[in-house]
Amino acid sequence: MNWVILIIAGLFEVGFASCLGKVKQTSGSEMYYWFAGFLICLTISMLLLIKATQTLPIGTAYAVWTGIGAVGTVLMGILVFKDPVSFWKIFFISTLIGSVIGLKAVSN
């Protein structure tokens, strides 16, 4: 169950990184809404990470949480924010995904 919580925490990390990207692209009241989304996603992500680390090793949990956030944020950038795509970007994202899966496989 804590692995599910950790995955959800990683998805909220993608949410707060994406909101942060929108904060810098907007102005006025819209900027404040994105900033509020950033704070909400940040809080939920951290609380879920704390919950997951009560039973999972901190090193593994943090690495998986960061990996999910990194992969998700890059994919969000490509799909939503129209960031450029290259072979090397996809290659290294793939190796990161493999590393996260590997950490899950070798942890107790």
Residue 6 structural domain: 2-106
Assigned token pair, 60: 């593994």
For 76-102, the pLDDT digits (tens) are 999 988 899 999 999 999 999 999 889
Which residue in 103, 101, 79 sits closest to 89, CA to CA? 79
This model's pTM is above 0.85: yes
- Indicate the number of domains in the chain: 1
Q: What is the DSSP letter of 81?
A: S
As a whole number of angstroms, the distance between CA 19 and CA 15 comes to 6
For 40-88, the pLDDT digits (tens) are 999 999 999 999 999 999 999 999 999 999 999 999 999 988 899 999 9
As a whole number of angstroms, the distance between CA 2 and CA 49 comes to 9
